[in-house]
Amino acid sequence: MKAIILKRGREKSLMRRHPWIFSGAIAGIEGHPRAGETVDILAAEGAILGRGAYSPRSQMTVRVWSFDPQEEITSAFFADRLSRAAEARGALAAGEGPPGVRLVNAESDGLPGIIVDRYGEYLVAQFLTTGAEYWKATVVEELVRLDGISGVYERSDADVREKEGLPKLAGVLAGAEPPDLVEIREGPCRFLVDVKRGHKTGFYLDQRENRAAIAEFARGAVMLNCFSYTGGFGIAALAAGAASATNVDSSAPALALARRNAELNGIDEALLENVEGDAFTVMRRWRDEGRMFDVIVLDPPKFAESKANLSRASRGYKDINLLAFRLLGPGGILFTFSCSGLMSAELFQKIVSDAALDAGCEAQIIRRLAQASDHPTLLSFPESSYLKGFICRVMR
């Protein structure tokens, strides 16, 4: 038997069905498990609490596959979990036009370390942990059986794999290789996705519902989209009748693709401005010039990678929100986000509130935002609720 034995009293999180076991909670290891192998999880008294994947190089030593001591971790287990995850997204995947949808959301679908996004007829997968890597061939074998899939492409090139002692990998796993750009449809908009070189798996699918929400505020608005990537929020605003949209991003290739996305949607190029540069620097310049906007979107990258830099990240979020409030007049609308899992919604609200105060304006939160429904939050795993956002309205 291969097993890890918990220290006395450290089974409490497992009893609440939290799927992570850190090295400090482990009293002993039996059977010399290899990286990625399945181990029984034993309480100090010997009771089996579940089964998980062993990761000797990570501080997160075990990630739980199942809390059922009787459930075997076999190919049938993965077939069942993958089938259930895909079925739960059936309506999104069956919508008009080629879909862009997350089919598997790691721990929230009972599959730690495994992310699968669908772009049209292609799946883009990430295997981010030793357990996911161990079972990769099995997972891919099940994925190619899904209806309408031509190929599975790997984007296991995230930095987190290094913490697991795994190399970064990318390339075709099964079937046909996707083209350089894959088209998807999102509501009334169409987007080209760079699944091979784009951020993460190519597109920020978690913002789908928030991009749709901008239509309510866009008509006739002068809109600013900071950290714009390939222009998702800007395209959504222009499609909803915005007077103009300005994308700001540090990546020239991302902005070039934003321009192509505008063309794909039949948007007049005169309505779209793309500015390459650091958003903080650009916004400070426009503040000094007195430039104003009606709607601003702030969707920055993860500022807080660890607890140690949470304070620095908080300053970054405050600075960018302060600049946004100074570029908005009375009645202006701010969509502001944090994708840092370590940033609580309460702390983020305080930061945005302090930014408004320092900008000398009063603002209201008129809606709270989160990740899209195909990125569910497991109730016993609050860490999976990483994206938080507010729609704020400037009062004066």
Question: Which residues are the active-site residues?
Answer: 339
What tokens were used for 250? 């540090």
Cα-based torsion angle of the residue sequence 90, 94, 95, 98 in order, rounded to the nearest 10 degrees: 120
Q: Tokens in use for 363?
A: 């603002």
Tell me the C-alpha distance between 35 and 37, whole Å.
6
* Gap between the Cα atoms of 349 and 390, Å rounded: 8
What region does 52 belong to: left with phi over 0, alpha with psi -120 to 50, or beta? beta
Q: Find where tokens 């989160």 sit.
A: 370
Alpha helices in the chain (DSSP H): 12-15, 75-88, 90-93, 130-134, 136-143, 160-163, 208-213, 215-218, 232-239, 252-264, 279-289, 310-326, 345-358
**Measured between alpha carbons, how far is residue 333 from residues 7, 187, 322, 327 in Å?**
51, 22, 14, 10
